[in-house]
């Protein structure tokens, strides 16, 4: 069979997927770009061309800047914590001890719990009147009176980050564990004979095996964290006093709560651009790391 | 095997206990809340274990009496099953031929990167036109409309998983059949697809879980019992004026049960998927 026929046949087989992707991804994306240059409303008015007005308004507004900082803080702190806790848990699970298999199976639970259920669960735990956190901390004597963890701007974002980390660090742990199990035993044994201490052994013998998979996990988790919506919407809806309003929440409010489709679309594209820049930067990093090892 | 000192062994067991407690405590508490009476849950100091086990909320939520809290819950449960089921079937149907084509045809393999790249798009970048499009087609607040929208997530995802599945089936088997005179549809139907059945099943289950978990589009595109999914129903309960926290917890337990069971059953597939980087966080 000729090469052209094989290529043509491949495109024919991909036709259904291409049609679906154009209908539900390609067209909406192009239309978002079009809308972002208009003053269209979500329902009713078609909108007229306004050039870069929406972009200027959104980028210059204090809402965007504050949401950007909130999102970046959420992403950096939660992903860093997830990476550190995940690697520590993986190092533990890589040891020999009784109950290890059961503990590894437990790690699946937070991953499998639906995001909305996780958010609801933590919302109940943080409840200012009956929550388990308040009850536990009071009973140990760490706090005197019940506090509104999600109701105070000072603690809401941290409370959210903890809930997010609890759900996601086990996944990082499982990825890191799989990588750890690929480290040949001879190498760790040899480093032991050569007199490497635990820290040097981790840094120079084990970490190179972990770097690739961890970097991929880092990329995926950061992109996910930058797009975060569900957990925040269910736990705080961006409040109190907008202290947990991330970029996705801001887009939702602009486009759907206030029905300003045009400026909402421009904001959505700014977020998309930020995520793309992140992804490309990371991809370069991954390639460099792959080339170095 | 390296020698382990007593101190180190103690440290390992203490850390393992701590990790198990961190993972289990919130989940157990969700379950305890679902079986505690409202009085136990609002007691100060809190009753960590109920005096009497109260299963009434499970009965309430799973009842289908008209206009009860149960009717709303079971309706959303069925909507979730319908939407996730339809979206998964449609995604697998379009993914099989394209994943096979990408796997067997080096000249088009670059297109897979385009498919994966869409995965990074934030849903907010598509939401406004999708909303207007569904409104135009009369598919807002419809399980069909929502299932269609879920293809934005599931179609690229299943194509990616199935492609790596087909990669692991040797081409030689297919070429041998071709030399024997089999047509392409026969090769696919009789040889490749049966060999790929486990991968297809795994991909379908992952896709189903992804759809089961989805919240953003469901929140935007559904508004009442006709199409509201479980995630939206639970968010409504959590954000509403429900005074019985045990009821919210019970809804959470019921919604978490299917994915948790699937997750535990598929441990092996999940972990091998993780190592190849093929599973969403």
Q: Convert the pLDDT of each residue in B163-184 to its tens digit.
A: 988 998 888 888 888 888 888 8
Neighbours of A222 (CB within 10 A): 22
pLDDT at residue number A5: 87
CB within 8 Å: B127 and A100: no
CB within 8 Å: A32 and B126: yes
Residues B136 and A42: beta-carbon distance below 8 Å: no
List, in order, residues 6 or more apart from B270 with CB less than 8 Å away: A108, A111, A174, B263, B279
Considering only CB atoms, A120 lies closest to which of B24, B127, B238, namely B238
Place A158 in a pLDDT band, splitting at 50, 70 and 90: very high
Residues A156 and A149: beta-carbon distance below 8 Å: yes
Bridge partners of A49?
A38
B-chain CB neighbours of A268 within 8 Å are 122, 124-125, 127-128
Residue B71 near chain A (CB below 8 Å): no
CB within 8 Å: B252 and A138: no
CB within 8 Å: A256 and B260: no
Considering only CB atoms, A35 lies closest to which of B128, B148, B252, namely B128
Place A291 in a pLDDT band, splitting at 50, 70 and 90: low
Q: How far apart are CA B133 and CA A148, in angstroms?
A: 41
B-chain CB neighbours of A99 within 8 Å are 16, 20
Considering only CB atoms, A32 lies closest to which of B129, B155, B249, namely B129
Positions in chain B whose pLDDT score sits under 50: 1, 277-281
Residue B265 near chain A (CB below 8 Å): no
> How many residues comprise chain B?
281
List, in order, residues 6 or more apart from B90 with CB less than 8 Å away: A20, B147, B148, B151, B154, B155
pLDDT tens column, B181-218: 888 888 888 889 999 998 899 899 999 999 999 999 99
Q: Is the pLDDT of residue A43 over 90?
A: no
> How many residues comprise chain A?
293
**Closest CA of chain B from A31, distance in Å:** 6
Comparing A3 with A117, the larger pLDDT belongs to A117
CB within 8 Å: A115 and B213: yes
Query: Average pLDDT over chain A, rounded to whole?
Result: 90
pLDDT at residue number B279: 44
Residue B204 near chain A (CB below 8 Å): no
List, in order, residues 6 or more apart from A48 with CB less than 8 Å away: A38, A39
In CATH terms, the fold of domain A53-292 is: MetI-like fold (1.10.3720)
Residues B203 and B95: beta-carbon distance below 8 Å: yes
pLDDT at residue number A203: 81
A with B: how many residue pairs have Cβ under 8 Å apart? 276
3-state SS, chain B, equals CCCCCHHHHHHHHHHHHHHHHHHHHHHHHHHHHHHCCHHHHCCCCCCCCCCCCCCHHHHHHHCCCCCCHHHHHHHHHHHHHHHHHHHHHHHHHHHHHHHHHHHHCHHHCCHHHHHHHHHHCCCHHHHHHHHHHHHHHCCCCCHHHHHHHHHHHHHHHHHHHHHHHHHCCCHHHHHHHHHCCCCHHHHHHHHHHHHHHHHHHHHHHHHHHHHHHCCHHHHHHCCCCCCCCHHHHHHHHHHCCCCCHHHHHHHHHHHHHHHHHHHHHCHHHHHHHHHCCCCCC
Q: How far apart are CA B62 and CA B72, in angstroms?
A: 10
Q: Which of B201, B252, B247 is nearest to B27 (CA)?
A: B252
Residue B179 near chain A (CB below 8 Å): no
B-chain CB neighbours of A170 within 8 Å are 23
Residues A176 and A218: beta-carbon distance below 8 Å: no
**Closest CA of chain A from B79, distance in Å:** 16
pLDDT at residue number B4: 65
Q: How far apart are CA A249 and CA A259, in angstroms?
A: 14
- Architecture label for domain B71-275: Orthogonal Bundle (1.10)
Q: How far apart are CA A84 and CA A77, in angstroms?
A: 11
Considering only CB atoms, B95 lies closest to which of A17, A35, A251, namely A17
Considering only CB atoms, A221 lies closest to which of B111, B216, B281, namely B281
pTM for the whole structure: 0.91
Considering only CB atoms, B33 lies closest to which of A14, A124, A229, namely A124
Residues A125 and A118: beta-carbon distance below 8 Å: no
Considering only CB atoms, A279 lies closest to which of B120, B126, B159, namely B120
As a whole-number percent, the residues of chain A with pLDDT over 90 amount to 63
Q: Name which of A4, A29, A103, A108 to mutate to probe chain B: the one with the most chain B Cβ atoms within 10 A of its Cβ.
A: A108
ω into A98 cis (within 30 of 0): no
Place A189 in a pLDDT band, splitting at 50, 70 and 90: confident
B-chain CB neighbours of A175 within 8 Å are 274-275
Q: Name which of B37, B77, B274, B278 to mutate to probe chain A: the one with the most chain A Cβ atoms within 10 A of its Cβ.
A: B274
The residue extents of the domains of chain A are 53-292
Residue B20 near chain A (CB below 8 Å): yes
pLDDT at residue number B88: 97
- Chain B CA closest to residue A99: B16
DSSP string spanning chain A?
A: --HHHHHHHHHHHHHHHHHHHIIIIIHHHHHHHHHHTB---SSS----B-TTHHHHHHHHSHHHHHHHHHHHHHHHHHHHHHHHHHHHHHHHHTS--TTHHHHHHHTHHHHHS-HHHHHHHHHHHT-TTT-HHHHHHHHHTS-SS---TTTSHHHHHHHHHHHHHHHHHHHHHHHHHHHHTTS-HHHHHHHHHTT--HHHIIIIIIHHHHHHHHHHHHHHHHHHHHT--HHHHHHTTT-STTTT--HHHHHHIIIIIS--HHHHHHHHHHHHHHHHHHHHHHHHHHHHHHHH-
**Closest CA of chain B from A27, distance in Å:** 8
Interval A190-195 mean pLDDT: 80
Interval A277-289 mean pLDDT: 81
């Amino acid at each position: 069979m000729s090469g052209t026929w094989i290529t043509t046949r491949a495109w024919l087989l991909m036709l259904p997927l291409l049609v679906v992707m154009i209908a539900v991804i390609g067209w909406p994306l192009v239309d978002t770009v079009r809308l972002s240059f208009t003053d269209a409303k979500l329902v009713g008015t078609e909108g007229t061309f306004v050039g870069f007005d929406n972009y200027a308004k959104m980028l210059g507004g204090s809402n965007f800047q504050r949401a950007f900082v909130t999102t970046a803080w959420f992403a950096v702190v939660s992903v860093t914590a997830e990476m550190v806790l995940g690697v520590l848990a993986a190092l533990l699970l890589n040891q020999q001890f009784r109950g290890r298999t059961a503990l590894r199976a437990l790690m699946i639970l937070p991953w499998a719990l639906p995001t909305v259920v996780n958010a609801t669960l933590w919302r109940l735990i943080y409840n200012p009147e009956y929550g388990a956190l308040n009850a536990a901390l009071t009973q140990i004597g760490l706090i005197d009176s019940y506090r509104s963890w999600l109701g105070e701007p000072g603690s809401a974002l941290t409370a959210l980050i903890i809930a997010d980390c609890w759900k996601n660090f086990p996944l990082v742990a499982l990825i890191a564990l799989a990588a750890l199990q690929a480290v040949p035993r001879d190498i760790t044994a040899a480093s032991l004979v050569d007199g490497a201490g635990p820290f040097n052994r981790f840094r120079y013998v084990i970490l190179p095996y972990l770097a690739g998979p961890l970097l991929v996990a880092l990329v995926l988790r950061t992109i996910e964290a930058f797009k975060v919506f569900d957990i925040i919407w269910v736990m705080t809806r961006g409040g109190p006093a907008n202290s947990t309003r991330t970029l996705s929440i801001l887009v939702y409010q602009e486009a759907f709560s206030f029905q300003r489709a045009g400026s909402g679309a421009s904001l959505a594209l700014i977020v998309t651009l930020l995520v793309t820049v992140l992804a490309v930067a990371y991809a370069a990093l991954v390639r460099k790391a792959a080339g170095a090892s | 095997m390296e020698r382990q000192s007593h101190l180190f062994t103690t440290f390992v067991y203490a850390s393992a206990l701590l990790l198990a407690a961190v993972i289990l405590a919130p989940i157990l508490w969700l379950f305890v809340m679902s079986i505690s009476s409202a009085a136990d849950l609002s007691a100060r100091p809190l009753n960590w274990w109920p005096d009497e086990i109260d299963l009434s909320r499970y009965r309430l939520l799973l009842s289908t009496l008209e206009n009860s809290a149960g009717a709303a819950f079971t309706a959303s449960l069925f909507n979730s099953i319908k939407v996730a089921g339809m979206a998964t079937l449609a995604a697998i149907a379009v993914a099989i031929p394209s994943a096979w084509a990408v796997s067997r045809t080096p000249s088009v393999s670059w297109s897979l990167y385009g498919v994966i790249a869409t995965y990074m798009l934030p849903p907010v970048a598509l939401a406004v036109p999708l909303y207007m499009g569904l409104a135009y087609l009369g598919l807002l607040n419809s399980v069909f409309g929502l299932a269609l929208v879920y293809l934005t997530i599931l179609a690229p995802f299943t194509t990616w998983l199935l492609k790596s599945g087909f990669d692991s089936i040797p081409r030689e088997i297919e070429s041998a059949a071709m030399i024997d005179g089999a047509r392409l549809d026969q090769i696919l139907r009789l040889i490749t697809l049966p060999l790929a059945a486990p991968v297809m099943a795994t991909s379908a289950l992952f896709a189903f879980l992804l759809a089961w978990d989805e919240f953003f589009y469901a929140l935007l595109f559904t508004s009442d019992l006709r199409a509201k999914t479980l995630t939206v129903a639970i968010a409504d309960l959590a954000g509403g004026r429900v005074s019985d926290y045990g009821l919210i917890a019970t809804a959470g337990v019921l919604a978490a049960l299917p994915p948790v069971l699937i997750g535990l059953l598929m441990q092996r597939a999940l972990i091998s998927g993780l190592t190849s980087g093929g599973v969403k966080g």
